[in-house]
């Protein structure tokens, strides 16, 4: 196994330890990183990432364990304001540009369910009523 592949595996292992990744994501990330590291070491500019896996349909970008940024093609659990600012967009502008509903959270489906369940468990609407009494 060459050094480039070892370096790529080490980077992907660190990434996988902080977020859930599918087998395909891991494989493609290792391949991309190994090629990029090899190109950098050989003094060649890495190939442009024009072939980033951006779904053609924005509705397919919101997946079970990830949401794909339609601007960068990168996969996240949450699309943050900071990330969208790199493209000169606010979350509202991003939603409008890609045809998402105005109140749609820019998070993966799994995280939406977790948040919804947590809010139901907290029952904040009951606590608010009790404080007013």
pLDDT, tens digit (0-9, with 9 covering 90-100), for 49-73: 444 456 678 888 899 999 999 988 8
Contact of 29 with 23, CB cutoff 8 Å = no
Of 122, 19, 106, nearest to 58 by C-alpha is 106
Distance CA 95, CA 58 (A): 10
**pLDDT tens digits, one per residue of 22-38:** 888 888 888 888 888 88
With 0.85 as the threshold, say if the pTM is over it: no
Q: Is 50 exposed, middle or buried (0-12, 13-18, 19+ CB in 10 A)?
A: exposed
Identify whether the C-beta of residue 92 lies closer than 8 Å to the C-beta of residue 102: yes
CATH 1.10.10.1550 domain extents, the chain: 56-133
Architecture of domain 56-133: Orthogonal Bundle (1.10)
In this structure, are residues 85 and 124 in contact, taking their beta carbons and an 8 Å threshold? no
């Amino acid at each position: 196994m060459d050094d480039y592949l070892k370096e790529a595996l080490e980077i992907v292992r660190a990434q996988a330890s902080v977020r859930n990744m599918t087998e395909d994501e891991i494989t493609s990330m290792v391949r991309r990183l190994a090629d990029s590291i090899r190109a950098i070491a050989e003094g060649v500019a890495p190939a442009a990432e024009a072939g980033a896996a951006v779904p053609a349909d924005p509705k397919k970008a919101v997946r079970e364990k990830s949401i794909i940024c339609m601007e960068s093609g990168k996969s996240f659990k949450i699309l943050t304001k900071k990330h969208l600012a790199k493209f000169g967009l606010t979350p509202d502008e991003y939603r409008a540009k890609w045809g998402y509903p105005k109140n749609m959270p820019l998070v993966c489906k799994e995280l939406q369910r977790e948040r919804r369940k947590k809010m139901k468990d907290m029952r904040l609407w009951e606590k608010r009523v009790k404080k007013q009494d």
